[in-house]
């Protein structure tokens, strides 16, 4: 078989890999004012205490899901919705598809090393990458998303921190982002114990 065709078939196989997520539980949790009062950045993670699929589904939903009224869980200026949310794992990069509540595999690359400019990052069991068109509103949308994750993490006893100390240019290139999007930020999550 021709080398180009093999590469195309391999790429199609990766793109076709989908991980369904359980429906997020959208009730309960800590009262909002308590979560805001307790919210803080946490950089200590227990790598042995993994994030289960239910928690992962809820984290992704609060950051960039679709609420019961049909709109995103965060505000987007002029409803542009020009943000992307990705999960980095040692096995590859996954894009969150809110409409189908699933993760779609983008590639088989372990890109976590492009985020490891601080030692604690190696212990985090969950790595989120926020992307957007680097325009007037893209960064604001990302800020709304990671703040929702902070409040959820506080409510669930998770540590989290938003990070800019990453190789955004290398990540943008390695992730082969669509429509002029660039990597804006990286957020780690996990349990301290």
Instruction: Show the DSSP H helices in 41-137 as ranges.
Output: 53-64
Q: What is the CA radius of gyration of the chain?
A: 17
Domains of the chain and CATH, by start: 19-190 (3.40.109.10)
| pLDDT tens for each residue of 49-84 | 999 999 999 999 999 999 999 999 999 988 888 899
pLDDT (tens digit per residue) in 78-112 = 888 889 999 999 999 999 999 999 999 999 999 99
Whole-number Å distance between alpha carbons of 169 and 85: 17
169 C-beta neighbours (distance < 10 Å), count: 11
Residue 111 · residue 104 · CB < 8 Å = no
CA atoms of 24 and 38, how far apart (whole Å): 23
């Amino acid at each position: 078989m021709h080398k180009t065709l093999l590469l195309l078939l391999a790429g199609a196989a990766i793109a076709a890999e989908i991980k369904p997520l359980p429906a997020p539980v959208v009730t309960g949790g800590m009262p909002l004012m308590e979560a805001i009062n307790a919210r803080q950045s946490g950089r200590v993670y227990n790598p042995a205490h993994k994030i289960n699929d239910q928690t992962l589904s809820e984290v992704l939903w609060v950051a960039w899901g679709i609420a019961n009224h049909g709109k995103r869980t965060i505000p987007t200026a002029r409803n542009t919705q020009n943000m992307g949310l990705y999960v980095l794992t040692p096995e590859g990069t996954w894009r969150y598809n809110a409409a189908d509540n699933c993760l779609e595999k983008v590639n088989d690359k372990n890109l976590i090393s492009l985020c490891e400019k601080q030692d604690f990052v190696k212990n985090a069991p969950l790595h989120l990458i926020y992307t957007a068109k680097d325009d007037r509103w893209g960064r604001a949308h990302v800020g709304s998303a990671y703040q929702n994750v902070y409040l959820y993490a506080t409510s669930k006893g998770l540590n989290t921190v938003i990070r800019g100390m990453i190789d955004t240019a290398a990540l943008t290139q390695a992730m082969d982002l669509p429509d002029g999007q660039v990597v804006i930020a990286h957020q780690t999550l996990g349990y301290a114990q």
